[in-house]
Each structure stands twice: as C-alpha cells, then as structure tokens.
C-alpha cells in the first residue's frame, strides 16, 4: 500500500483499530473523535507518541459542536475539543454543517439545517464563536441525509461555499456523504463538486454504506461502494487531494480488507490526472436573500424551525403531522426517526462496550434500549453520558421491562 507523494493517506482512530494504525508506517493522517475520550488525559499513549515522534498529522473530529444550531453553543464540549486538539498537537478541528440540538432536545446525530439567510447568519455567528476557542483552524464537512427540507432558499453547494468564504473556513469533503445525497435527495454530485471553492479543500472522507429500502445509508460499517470511489476520482481530476482518510466505525473484520480499501483509495489518487480546475469562486449569497437580519431575530426564526423538526424526529407518530412540518416527506421523516434510534443505540454501545456484559443477551439489551428511548426521546449530551443515563434507567425499570412485551430495534 502506498500513497502518492502529495497525499497523506489516513484512517479514523477507533480503539479496535489501535494496532492496525500503530503498525502502518505509511499512514500520514489520523482523525480522532473528540467525544471518544472523557478528558484529554484519556487519549492512549501510543497516539501521543505518534503525534510527537512520527510524521503523522492529527485532526480532531466532532459531531457535537452544533455549527448550524440556533441553541447556544455547548461551551464545555467546545473546551473539551480544544483540549484534545492541544494534547495531540492537532493541525485542525473538524465538524459538520449540521445541527444536533434545539433547546433541551438532543438528536444524538447530525440533522440538516434549512438553507436560508437566517440560518446563514446563525452559522456565521456560531463559527466565529467556535474559532475563538479553538487552538487550530476549523474545517467544515458536508453531511449525508435521507430527507430534506421542502423550502430551501439556496443550494447546498452555494450555502456551504458562502460559509467557507465568509467564515474563512476550510473544507472537509465527504465523497460518500455526497454519494448518499445524490441517491437520497437528488443532489447533482458533479455540479456540487464543480461549484465548491476547492482551493479551500483540506481533506477528504471516504466511507462505506449500504442500500436499504430504496435509500443509501452511510453506515461507516460496510465496504466502500464503487460510486464513492468514482466521486473521489472525479474530485482528484479537479484538484490535488493532499489528504484523504477512510472512516470505519464498526464491523471492522479482517485487517486485510481495510488494507485493500486504503490501497484502492491510494491507487485512484495515483492514477488521477488533475486538470487544475479549482471549482467555483462566486460563493456570495444571492441578492434576493437577506443575510443581514438582526441576529436575535435570525436565531428565533431558525430555533422555531429546528424545534419543530427535531421534536418530530425524536417523538415520531403524530408529532410528524404538526403544521410546522407540512411539505416534508413524512415517510422519509419517519424513516429518519427510526434511523436516529438505531444510530443512537450504536453510539451508546460503542461508548459503553461493557453494556453487553450487563445483560443476559443482545435481545435483552435491545429491549432495554427501546424502553429507554421511549422514556427519554432526547439523547444525553454525549454517547457516554447517554449510556450512563441508560444504565440508571435500566436499574430503575428493568423489572417492569421484563413484565411487559417489548419491541426490538429494527436491524
């Protein structure tokens, strides 16, 4: 396995991949998920050694900065991300152009914002606050979704480009997320790439997923689809890709399979002939969109929109049929509601691997998680906190759970 001279080939750190990462001397980029560690002092020693003794760049990744949320930022989490970045001598911090909370509600996953002038104002204010706290620059990632708002005021590429320019951020382009959105919500992937300011590209994500019920799910637990690799090749023909990394969050399987996926990524970059076209440059908001709203008014508008959507997604059922959600594809929202529960369950299991030892079998654990989600629709502030809250709930209600028939999580 070898990468091109100008490309750092990388992988996301997971405890199960520790030996795989440590033994690969040709890995030049490691992404660490901030919420995997309770404190910066919990980071494994071998990662600290890699950060200081080897030619390896570290990026600290987050899914909880809430860059597009109207609720005040979680300063404790932001301070934690900054501490992890300092501990690893990281070159960047990255998160998503998404929201994860609204008021007291926590989604436990990334939700697409409505792309409007009001949201643009909120995002720019959030990013300015985030950047003041971080020791290194912030990089923004495009997200995958299975549903979309019915009344965006601008395209995703236009919205993202405007933010990158106005907030002076760099780009993390996830080609697998882009493939998901091309399948699920009809994004024109070629036009999307062509419209971006690719001179701001810092690194690229590639991940695996599956097709299910007519949708593509970016699971990070399956092999990389050929279409994602095709999009990586299309990107590499437009701009020199200096950093690219493989994401894998579960079902790690044989290390040889990971080697093969990294080799495929490296081979694509080695064969790509870059034309030098760096994407779109006109990333200002359209003239008919007011991006100079009073910030408090913008936050109130966005907060109301996000409250309605998040409450519907977390509660499901009748909550999906409130007037505020008219125009949405309710079947898609219901599917997203079930997907959020499955992702939340996986996040809890991953953050608290000892849970399996606390239940007789996996079915019992599934039943207990369903009961917990029915009781507490909002996720706790982190997967670890959610796991501890789940265990408290289980200790209090386990006897009741055994006494009544329970549903199980859909596969």
Over the chain (411 residues), the average pLDDT of each successive run of 10 is 68 95 93 94 96 94 97 96 98 98 91 97 98 98 96 96 97 98 96 96 96 90 94 96 95 90 95 73 48 87 96 86 90 91 89 89 91 89 89 78 55 48
Predicted local confidence at residue 410, as pLDDT: 54
Q: What is the SS3 assignment for 285?
A: coil
Helix axis angle for 295-315 and 330-351, nearest 10°, is: 80
Using CA atoms, how far apart are residues 196 and 402, in angstroms rounded to an integer?
53
Predicted local confidence at residue 390, as pLDDT: 94
Question: Nearest-CA neighbor of 142 among 212, 82, 202, 90?
Answer: 202
- What are the structure tokens assigned to 94, written together? 């990255």
Predicted local confidence at residue 293, as pLDDT: 78
Provide CB contacts within 8 A for 69, sequence distance 6+.
99, 100, 101, 102, 113, 122, 126, 306
Using CA atoms, how far apart are residues 316 and 279, in angstroms rounded to an integer?
40
Question: Nearest-CA neighbor of 207 among 236, 178, 241?
Answer: 178
Predicted local confidence at residue 28, as pLDDT: 96
Taking the whole predicted model, whether its pTM rises above 0.85 is answered as: yes
Predicted local confidence at residue 251, as pLDDT: 87
Domain 8-271: give its CATH code. Answer: 3.20.20.150
Predicted local confidence at residue 64, as pLDDT: 94
Predicted local confidence at residue 284, as pLDDT: 45
Predicted local confidence at residue 380, as pLDDT: 87
Under a CB-based contact definition with an 8 Å cutoff, are residues 214 and 294 in contact? no
Predicted local confidence at residue 4, as pLDDT: 44
Predicted local confidence at residue 290, as pLDDT: 54
């Amino acid at each position: 396995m070898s990468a091109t001279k100008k490309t750092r080939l990388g992988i996301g750190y997971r405890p199960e991949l520790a030996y795989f990462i440590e033994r690969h001397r040709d890995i030049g980029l490691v992404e660490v998920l901030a919420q995997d560690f309770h404190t910066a002092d919990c980071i494994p020693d071998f990662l600290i050694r890699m950060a200081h003794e080897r030619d390896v760049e570290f990026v600290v990744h987050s899914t909880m900065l809430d860059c597009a949320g109207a609720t005040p930022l979680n300063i404790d989490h932001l301070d934690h991300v900054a501490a992890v970045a300092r501990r690893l001598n990281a070159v960047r911090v990255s998160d998503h152009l998404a929201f994860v909370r609204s008021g007291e509600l926590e989604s436990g996953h990334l939700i697409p914002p409505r792309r409007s002038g009001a949201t643009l104002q909120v995002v720019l204010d959030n990013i300015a606050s985030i950047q003041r706290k971080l020791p290194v620059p912030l990089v923004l990632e495009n997200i995958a979704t299975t549903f979309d708002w019915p009344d965006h005021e601008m395209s995703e590429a236009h919205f993202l480009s405007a933010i990158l320019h106005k907030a002076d951020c760099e780009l993390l382009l996830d080609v697998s997320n882009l493939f998901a959105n091309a399948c699920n919500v009809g994004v024109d992937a070629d036009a999307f790439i062509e419209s971006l300011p690719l001179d701001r590209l810092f690194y690229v994500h590639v991940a695996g997923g599956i097709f299910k019920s007519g949708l593509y799910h970016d699971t990070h637990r399956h092999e990389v689809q050929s279409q994602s690799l095709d999009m990586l090749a299309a990107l590499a023909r437009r701009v020199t890709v200096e950093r690219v990394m493989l994401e894998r969050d579960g079902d790690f399987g044989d290390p040889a399979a990971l080697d093969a996926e990294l080799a495929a990524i490296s081979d694509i970059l080695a064969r790509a002939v870059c034309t030098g076209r760096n994407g779109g440059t006109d990333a200002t908001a359209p003239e008919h969109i007011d991006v100079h709203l009073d910030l408090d008014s913008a936050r109130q508008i966005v907060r109301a929109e996000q409250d309605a959507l998040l409450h519907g997604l977390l509660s499901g059922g009748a909550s999906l049929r409130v007037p505020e959600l008219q125009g949405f594809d309710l079947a898609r929202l219901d599917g997203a509601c079930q997907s959020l529960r499955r992702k939340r369950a996986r996040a809890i299991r991953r953050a608290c691997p000892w849970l399996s030892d606390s239940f007789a079998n996996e079915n019992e654990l599934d039943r207990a998680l369903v009961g917990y989600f029915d009781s507490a629709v909002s996720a706790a502030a982190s997967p670890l906190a959610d796991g501890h809250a789940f265990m408290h709930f289980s200790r209090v209600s386990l006897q009741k759970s055994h006494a009544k028939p329970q549903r199980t999580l859909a596969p």
